[in-house]
Structure 1
């Protein structure tokens, strides 16, 4: 039998930016979209984050027949498309922030951890973009996919694999049509907690007709990961990072130590808590996030006059004043009022917000610590594969076609095993 229909892949966004990939795979009357994030460009100083503003500034892709008609003003062509679904690879906003823009009738899939955590992260309506006709705290339904279990979307099959990134529960995706297989890495690395999961995904993706791979690790060729390269400085892997935090505590037995991490990097935080010689105390909002999403209880504190959470155990509360006075018992998560910390203290910034120089809030934040004579220690471990790891992943898959996305320099990723395509925004490739 000759198949007359062809598999097409259309690239709507996130090709030469770090973040925001939006890609559609279509076959006959079935199509799927992944991911649903917003490109992070704070320097644009946009008046709002409406659908129209984000489309105009190319921060989301102009994807037909997926967005909510209440936003676009255009109905979805259900005659052309009988089957549709969307997928998000992980929690980070450059992959998830626009998920509420998806038409409500289109099912949205994610790995089980991502599906569970996203509503908790958006509880106050300050994580995701709002859905049309709902208040800001609404999070649209997400189907928690079983790992490696086929999901049928008309003629297309999706399979979601556990992967490794600095977002808890990150996944990769295989898309199978009647004649082709496409692998999408999402954000990926081999130096995290679960390199075995990544290699399992590579094996499942082996000899794919197309590998769509992130390329954050080749975005700064002028730095070549030397001492000036912010993305790849510091510990070489997550285990080393935790060990360094433990070492800093042991080396400073009588010194106030505070820290912060990124909210979605739950696994790093749990490892720090488990290995820390001092008792780790979280800000109540973070403790609540972990309680709501994982049902685990950890010591916490409230800032003065802060809203209390009914699900946090009263016996685990530590007073804010006790933390401010402490220099040996606790390592605690600080989120504001840095001027109240003890002079001469140590603050550990582990991929927390503000994320770096590109964020206008970063410089004032670092200066505020310096003005209070607090040592600022950045301990980061990249969530992205470096140049060497990217080559290893490509070698593990050996794709017929390689498409680098999510990078400032896609041309620096090569495919020794076949063709490499550098698509333009909005371009469709027929396999």
Structure 2
């Protein structure tokens, strides 16, 4: 049913993939997620139509050459550094023309009909800013809102998910280089929010998004209907989270579609243990927070709305305020604006913003608003939103649960927490060398400041037993594991093993 199509047709100075010749075949090419956790990049071509499923950042590959965010590819050179180091695939008709020109490349017109984003984690959406702004991108509504919040708070190339900053070609030819962000030609990427039940028609290829449960809201899997085959794509999912019924909906819909191929994640396939639950996370942390009479600091992903809700409840139930860093406030605002997520607004009595010190302090201890960017000033000017400084946190340590990641630990030097303060580590355990190094540095900080540490986490990915049950219930004719370091552990199924950048023919 499946056969490799590695043959290439050469013309001019280019190597032309066979997919450009055999336009009547459905071809699948993976440019990421093969033998790795994350970095999913799945290109589907059917009768001349090109669709991209996820376009994620491969952290492990990037960390070989760079140390984000301090040392990273040069935005001034567009795609150049990414291509030279193999961090982005050289896919025809996918990328922004301005980034091609910055890399001294001949600019190509867009050839893709659609980019479907399964969810808002960077290992699935992190490379979207490089995609040509006219290629429509589809994603869940809350994913769009969160990505827009990230774009508004960062203003760099890697955050141009929704708003894309272009330097018009005419100005380059006229030697008129815009001196500032405001002078660039900013345009809105065409983003089409979808919900379960929608059918997205892309020039003969139909995509059906079905919600799944994951450690971020707005996560979806896809059923893709090609001219001669049906493909199911899980994205990232789990059954042990707070909303397993979402994943069940996807599994049932995929089973009804009788797919020829299931592309499945396999993050936890090597772990036979129980992945826990959000209730267990709260239970493990609750007693430690209740006993603490000092500052409580928590390290967790604020986009994980289940964990965010857990931290809010821990704060409220123990007479504390949940304090959100100012730079994360736009994300919190986006999540709290969605009534389905049930997060309290920033005006809630149990929520406050942490205001980091910049250059100056007024005699009364307050900070000049002019030192913060426009979106931050908008939040701080709201009368019903409380903000606190390091002095206020220090003066009443037992009244706060402060959300603070390792990369923001410099703030602890201003707060000067009392010895014996509590740190809640509520993230995934490190699984690569770079994460191990960060974890070691985090521990050094906590030891230096004499924190006690309590750890608890619940994975966003299905356990091995749940994953195998999902595969068995969908009953696809072939299974392709990606987003895993152990594809060999799927050997009990009728496997197809992808090779990076090699096209595979898909038929019924």
TM beyond 0.5 = yes
Q: Where in structure 2 are the equivalents of 1:266-345 lying within 5 Å?
A: 266-274=305-313, 276=315, 277-278=317-318, 279=320, 280-292=322-334, 294-295=336-337, 296-297=345-346, 298-305=351-358, 307=372, 308-312=376-380, 313-315=382-384, 316-334=386-404, 335-336=408-409, 337-339=411-413, 340-345=416-421
Deviation, 1:92, is 1.2
Q: Where in structure 2 are the equivalents of 1:61-72 lying within 5 Å?
A: 61-72=89-100
Q: Where in structure 2 are the equivalents of 1:241-260 lying within 5 Å?
A: 241-250=281-290, 252-260=291-299
Corresponding residue SS for 2:311: helix
Name segments (4+ residues, structure 1) moved above 4 Å: 74-78, 129-132, 134-139, 352-357
- Per the normalisation by structure 2, the TM-score is 0.74
Return the alpha-carbon distance in structure 2 between the equivalents of residues 148 and 247 of structure 1: 42
Judge conservation of contact 1:65–1:75 (CA < 8 Å) in 2.
Answer: no
Structure 2 residue 245 is matched with structure 1 residue 212: no
Change (3 A) 1:211 1:341: same
- Per the normalisation by structure 1, the TM-score is 0.86
Return the alpha-carbon distance in structure 2 between the equivalents of residues 139 and 95 of structure 1: 20
The CA deviation string for residues 324-367 of structure 1, in whole angstroms up to 9 with x for no partner, is: 23343322223323342211111112228999752343322220
Return the alpha-carbon distance in structure 2 between the equivalents of residues 180 and 64 of structure 1: 24
The CA deviation string for residues 90-146 of structure 1, in whole angstroms up to 9 with x for no partner, is: 111111111011112211111111111101012222583555626599873422113
Higher helix residue share: 2
Structure 2 residue 128 is matched with structure 1 residue 107: no
Change (3 A) 1:108 1:426: same
Return the alpha-carbon distance in structure 1 between the equivalents of residues 326 and 264 of structure 2: 37
In the other structure, the counterpart of 2:364 is: none
Change (3 A) 1:289 1:140: same
The CA deviation string for residues 263-297 of structure 1, in whole angstroms up to 9 with x for no partner, is: 32233203431354133222222233222454331
Deviation, 1:157, is 0.7
Return the alpha-carbon distance in structure 1 between the equivalents of residues 300 and 245 of structure 2: 25
The counterpart of 2:464, out of the listed 369, 376, 387, is 387
The counterpart of 1:373, out of the listed 424, 435, 450, is 450
Judge conservation of contact 1:85–1:108 (CA < 8 Å) in 2.
Answer: yes
In the other structure, the counterpart of 1:350 is: 426
Return the alpha-carbon distance in structure 2 between the equivalents of residues 407 and 28 of structure 1: 30
Corresponding residue SS for 1:187: coil
The CA deviation string for residues 52-101 of structure 1, in whole angstroms up to 9 with x for no partner, is: 322333333332222223334355467xx5x6111111111111111011
Structure 2 residue 79 is matched with structure 1 residue 51: yes
Pick which of 348-357 and 235-244 moved more: 348-357
Deviation, 1:21, is 1.2
Return the alpha-carbon distance in structure 2 between the equivalents of residues 62 and 263 of structure 1: 33
Deviation, 1:175, is 0.9
Pick which of 381-390 and 335-344 moved more: 335-344
Judge conservation of contact 1:164–1:170 (CA < 8 Å) in 2.
Answer: yes
In the other structure, the counterpart of 1:229 is: none
Corresponding residue SS for 1:427: coil
Judge conservation of contact 2:150–2:330 (CA < 8 Å) in 1.
Answer: no
Change (3 A) 1:31 1:395: same
Structure 2 residue 123 is matched with structure 1 residue 94: yes
Deviation, 1:399, is 0.8
Q: Where in structure 2 are the equivalents of 1:195-234 lying within 5 Å?
A: 195-206=244-255, 207-218=258-269, 221=270, 224=271
Change (3 A) 1:266 1:141: farther
Judge conservation of contact 1:338–1:368 (CA < 8 Å) in 2.
Answer: no
Cα RMSD, aligned residues only: 2.8
Point out the structure with max Rg over C-alpha.
2
Deviation, 1:158, is 1.0
Change (3 A) 1:194 1:414: farther
Judge conservation of contact 1:403–1:421 (CA < 8 Å) in 2.
Answer: yes
Deviation, 1:11, is 1.4
Structure 2 residue 163 is matched with structure 1 residue 133: no
The counterpart of 1:12, out of the listed 31, 37, 42, is 31
Corresponding residue SS for 2:51: strand
Corresponding residue SS for 2:324: strand
Change (3 A) 1:353 1:326: farther
Change (3 A) 1:262 1:176: same
Return the alpha-carbon distance in structure 2 between the equivalents of residues 165 and 118 of structure 1: 17
Return the alpha-carbon distance in structure 2 between the equivalents of residues 346 and 58 of structure 1: 42
Pick which of 391-400 and 48-57 moved more: 48-57
In the other structure, the counterpart of 1:85 is: 114
Structure 2 residue 50 is matched with structure 1 residue 31: yes
Judge conservation of contact 1:203–1:397 (CA < 8 Å) in 2.
Answer: yes
The CA deviation string for residues 297-348 of structure 1, in whole angstroms up to 9 with x for no partner, is: 1322212236253224444223432322334332222332334221111111
Return the alpha-carbon distance in structure 2 between the equivalents of residues 64 and 410 of structure 1: 29
Query: Which 5+ residue runs of structure 1 have no aligned equivalent?
Result: 227-231
The CA deviation string for residues 137-182 of structure 1, in whole angstroms up to 9 with x for no partner, is: 9873422113221011010111112112212221111111233211
Judge conservation of contact 2:478–2:495 (CA < 8 Å) in 1.
Answer: yes
Structure 2 residue 150 is matched with structure 1 residue 121: yes
